[in-house]
Amino acid sequence: MSVSIVHTLKVLKPAAMIALVALIGLIIGYYANAMFFPGTAPEQPIDFSHRIHAGDNEIPCLYCHVQARRSISAGVPSVNKCMGCHVEVATDRPQIRLLANYWETKEPIPWIKVHDLPDFVHFTHKRHVQADIECQTCHGPVETMDVVSREAPVKMGLCLNCHKDNEVQHGTDCWTCHK
Amino acid sequence: MSKVDRRDFLKLVGAGGVGAGAGFMLAESIKHPIEHLVPYAVPPEEYSPGVATWYNSVCGMCSAGCGITVRTREGRAKKIEGNPSHPVNQGRLCALGQAGLQTLYNPDRITAPMLRSGDRGSGSFTQTTWEDGLNRVAERLEDAQRGSGDTYLLSRGVRGNLDNLLGLFMAGLGSENLLHYDFDHPHSLYAANLRTFGEELLPYYDIQNASYLLSFGADYLNDWLSPVHNSLGFGRSRQGGDHDRGRFVQVEPKMSISGAAADEWIPAQPGTEGILALGVAHQLVASGTYTGEDLAAWTSALAPYSAASVAAQTGVSSDTVTRLGNEFARATAPLAIGGGATAGHTNAVDALVAINALNYLAGTIGQAGGVIFNPQPVTGSGGHSRQASYQAMLDLADNARAGRISVLIINNTNPVFTMPGAARFAEALESVPVIVSLSTFMDETTALADIVLPSHTYLESWGDDIPQPGVGFSVAAVSQPIVAPLYNTRGTGDIVLALGRKLELTDLMPWADTEELLKFAWQQIYERDGAEAGGDFDAFWRSVLQAGVWGENVRRADMPTIDPGVVASLGVPEPVFVGSEIDYPFVLHTYLSTSMHDGRGANLPWMQELPDPITSVVYGNWIEMNPATAAEQGLKDGDLVQVTSSEGSLEIPLLVFPAIMPGVVAMPIGQGHTEYGRYANNRGANVISILASEVDPASGGLASSATRVSISPTGKRAKLVRTGGVARQLGRDIVQHTGTDAGTAGHSAKLNSIPIVVESA
């Protein structure tokens, strides 16, 4: 009795075909998600425009993100801070009314994080702001964006290259960031 | 496969669809989860996200009253450390204090007021509102005021103004039944000091300046009075400054942590430590160092305690007794302390008076390195006067059984767990019509409650504290909320004030909340101290909150003297043990676990996984037995044995331990919970449950070391989880030592060489 490999293939063929189609589907599905739902520019509770604030009106980043120079996190401005201007400015616009609603109920605004580093990375804004690193180096040209999206690839390479170029002391040691 | 039929086509479409879906989900799953950036609507002043804020407060894990400083970020407590400005712990903190965070974030906390919905003890409760819960309690209290029964309040040992508030509340209800109950409260030490010095206040034992410390059973590095402070003193006496290295001798039947750190460990027959103290005193007087006017009286009082007679009673050789006496007499700053098992026998008060006498004869009363008297609490109460001795708790149980208690309010104490089974406390509670518990956690006592009004953890509530024992001068500390309450709970003080308002006791207790009460009470301290320095009360209050502690580094002017009657009544009787030597051949030595304390730490995972410093066991408990005794009994390490006393029995793994006297078995307290949350339940056995209901008549305290037990094999083996492998060096020379002759070598030669005496039975 001989065993024919052709026979085996014949039996497997439909299964192999199905697996192949499923694999192609998998790849298409993966990239479709990455292309159409990148999640790098999430919809925020208020359509806040950095272009208007930081671009057109040239408000410095650190005016609102005031913690960046003294804390590990840059922080987002409190509703209180927004209302500092918007009691007077553009009070008739629907998005500002939305803001005023939050203010009246003293509710915080649940902004969605656009730039988020994994928990195993220790990054501190304070050090970078104090070293005069432009915010745009990591955050991209935010002052041109109506909807903030994650454009600069904030991956390990970006950190290391910058640390090397600027000859940061212990800048390439593992425990500088992973501690 | 040139032809694709309908079936195959459908299969392929299906496969493609599933594949695409899976691919989509794969991409979705590797995305960062959505995280929110939620700013404050109105941020608190000086708040920076990402920047830690430290708040000072008072530790609530045991009764030592250490100062803590808690690191918070974004309103969450992250880390607890010792407050460097607090004179008790001076920046240090023990493991239990560090684990305080796990009481705050414990998943088994009671999160809202509850009413019992099933049978009592069935553990079924339904949540309710504060308004409803408080109304129900107020109604019951009003009924009790009209009716014949009495209202009782049984609290954990609280001090400061919270104690005063509870007192006012009970006075308003027309009841005098305010009791505090802590298993480890040193009743016999208070009673001994009252008898010796006429003062019911613990003195400060100045270990750091002592050159020779003779400790009778007091595990001062682990659980005795203020272990963190004692540990500091230990370190300073050993290594600090330019004085001679302090020498420590520990007398106890089972080597404790302090025993392991001592220069010499002396096992004396259980309950005879006081007799040994008198033997040392006898030698001290005989050596001629004591020259007081009443020398003749002391000489005659101590005459029966010659070295030979003491040796016969204690099992310590007469040479050792004589040597201890000479060493104590010659030391520049000798100090004798007593606690632990010595304070847990039926002769405890007599033994502790003997130890006080030893200090008196050595002339160290009121001296540096000796016994220094503390001033009276500067505000609020020191807490001792209301502490219920074991006898008082037995009386309470009797009153419950007789139907004389109509409402019992229990505040964060767990007598059902920490009372011996022989007291049948849980059974007595069945006769109480209404039990209200203010507990933060469900525990064995709260499980029997009808109404549960959960209180905050100490990290969420206001309070103040006067550490007992103090440090020789006036100290008071404020405990402030570190974080906003996590759940729908309230501070104990606020609950009592709310009940007061409902019962129209606002004349007595006019304060809106505990914070207001504290500010009112602390005016006293402000007027005494802060007003002179200038500034208004608010500035003073802020500075106290910032520092976390207030103190006045002035020693007390009037020093109590020894009561002349002590000499005449000096003497330590033989201890009484429950159970005959034939039926119950072993003396059961119990001690507080380093990590569980009296059981309160058992629901903290960090404490469960902290290895016991002496045996290195984690998760669970054990019974210790001398190797010689174990061999005699045919028992091996890891055997599951049955421990039987006259009051009950339990099963527990055997741990063979060389540094315990033959004839004594030892068990740590703290495990064996049944209703204390997921981390505590069903681990080990509760040794308190088999203790005999024996009291020291002089103090009313429980004689926790007065039980005899028998040990029998069950034939089963149990696995003890140990971090250490072998307890021997096996020639690895891990512990360095320079000499072995403990009797003749100098101090330096005895570094790390603890003579372990294993006498054959």
For residue A3, name the pLDDT band (cuts at 50, 70, 90): low
Confidence of residue B2 (pLDDT cuts 50, 70, 90): low
Instruction: Identify the DSSP state of B372.
Output: E
Q: How far is B212 from chain A, CA to nearest CA, in Å?
A: 46
Q: How would you classify the pairing of strands B264-266 and B150-155?
A: unpaired
d(CA B201, CA B46): 43
Instruction: Dump pLDDT digits (tens) for B460-480.
Output: 999 999 998 989 999 999 999
Contact B11 A67 (CB under 8 A): no
pLDDT at B442: 96
What is the arithmetic mean of pLDDT over B55-59?
96
Q: Start-end ranges of CATH 3.40.228.10 in chain B? A: 188-372
**pLDDT reading at B531 higher than 70:** no
Q: Considering CB atoms only, which of B15, B16, B39 is closest to A79?
A: B39
Identify any residues that bridge with B150 across adjacent strands, giving them in sequence order.
B405
Contacts of A76 in chain B (CB under 8 A): 37, 39
Tell me: the pLDDT tens digits for B74-83?
Answer: 889 999 999 9
Residue B757 above 70 pLDDT?
no
- The stretch A15-36 carries a mean pLDDT of 86
CATH 2.20.25.90 positions along chain B are 6-105+475-484+531-552
Question: Residue B641 pairs with which residues in a beta bridge?
Answer: B652, B713
CATH class of B109-182+387-455+490-518: alpha beta
A·B CB contacts under 8 A:
131
Quick check: B748 pLDDT over 50?
no
Which positions in chain B touch A14 (Cβ < 8 Å)? 1, 8, 11
Average pLDDT over residues B237-245: 80
More confident residue, B243 or A31: A31
Instruction: Name the strand (E) or helix (H) holding B195.
Output: helix B187-197
| Residues B696-701, mean pLDDT to the nearest whole number | 94
User: Chain A residue closest to B4 (CA)?
Assistant: A14
Query: What average pLDDT score do residues B243-259 get?
Result: 92
Find the closest chain A residue to B42 by CA distance: A80
Confidence of residue B216 (pLDDT cuts 50, 70, 90): very high
Average pLDDT of B553-557?
84
- pLDDT greater than 80 at residue B761: no
**Contact state of A71 with B17 under an 8 Å Cβ cutoff:** no
Site from A13, A18, A125, A150 to mutate, B interface, most B CB atoms within 10 angstroms: A18
**pLDDT value of position B738:** 57
Query: How far does the CA of residue B21 sit from the closest CA of chain A (Å)?
Result: 6
Whether the predicted pLDDT of B338 surpasses 70: yes
CATH code, residues B188-372: 3.40.228.10
Identify which has the larger pLDDT, B96 or B743: B96
Chain region(s) in chain B for CATH 3.40.50.740: 109-182+387-455+490-518
pLDDT at B240 over 80: no
> Class of B6-105+475-484+531-552 per CATH?
mainly beta
Contact B36 A33 (CB under 8 A): no
Angle between helices B492-502 and B130-146 (to 10 degrees): 60
- Give the phi and the psi of residue B652 in degrees, each rounded to 5: -155, 145
B720: left (phi over 0), alpha (psi -120 to 50) or beta: beta
Q: Are A78 and B43 in contact (CB < 8 Å)?
A: yes
Residue B41: which of A39, A79, A113 has the nearest Cβ?
Answer: A79
* Residues from chain A contacting residue B78 (CB–CB below 8 Å): none
- For the ranges B44-58, B73-87, B587-601, the lowest mean pLDDT is seen at B44-58
The nearest alpha carbon in chain B to A99 belongs to B41
pLDDT surpasses 50 at B749: no
pLDDT (average), residues A5-31: 80
Strand, coil or helix: what is B182? Answer: coil
Residues 6+ apart with CB under 8 A from B168: B505, B508, B509
Q: Are residues A108 and B39, on separate chains, in Cβ contact within 8 Å?
A: yes
**ipTM over 0.85 threshold:** no
Is the pLDDT confidence value at B745 over 60? Answer: no
Probe site for chain B from A21, A111, A120 (most B CB atoms < 10 A): A21
Query: Is B36 in contact with A112 (Cβ distance < 8 A)?
Result: yes
Contact B42 A78 (CB under 8 A): yes
**Averaged pLDDT of chain A:** 88
The structure tokens 């974080």 sit at: B483
Q: Which band of pLDDT confidence, cut at 50, 70 and 90, is reported for residue A43? A: confident
Taking the C-alpha atoms of residue B448 and residue B154, their distance in angstroms, rounded to an integer, is 14
pLDDT in tens, B477-496: 999 999 999 999 999 999 99
Least Cα distance to B757 among B253, B220, B274, B322 occurs for B253
Model confidence pLDDT, tens digit, residues B415-455: 999 999 999 999 999 999 999 999 999 999 999 999 999 99
How confident is the prediction for chain B on average, in pLDDT? Answer: 91
Q: CA-CA distance, B5 to A59, in Å (whole number)?
A: 66
pLDDT digits (tens, 9 = 90+) for B502-524: 999 999 999 999 999 999 999 98
CB nearest to A18's CB, from B15, B23, B31: B15
Of B1, B11, B41, the CB nearest to A13: B1
Residue B533's pLDDT band, with cuts at 50, 70 and 90, is: low
* Residue of chain A with shortest Cα separation from B5: A14
| pLDDT at res. B746 | 40
Query: What tens digit of pLDDT does each residue of B92-124 get?
Result: 999 999 999 999 999 999 999 999 999 998 889
Q: What is the pLDDT of residue A6?
A: 64
Per-residue pLDDT, averaged over A23-51, amounts to: 87
Record the pTM: 0.86
Nearest of B658, B646, B650, B637 to residue B717 by alpha carbon? B637
Question: B37, B38, B45, B48: which to substitute to probe chain A, counting the most A Cβ within 10 Å?
Answer: B37
Task: Please tell me the number of Cα atoms within 13 Å of B626 on its side-chain side.
Answer: 23
Q: A33 vs B50: CB contact, 8 Å cut-off?
A: no
Q: Which of B16, B25, B37 sits opposite A111 (nearest CB)?
A: B37
Please report the pLDDT score of residue B383 as a whole number.
86
Structural element, H or E, at residue B279: helix B273-286
Contact A33 B27 (CB under 8 A): yes
pLDDT at B755: 45
> Would you state the pLDDT for residue B723?
87
Domain B586-722: top CATH class = mainly beta
Choice between B27 and A125, residue whose per-residue pLDDT is larger: A125
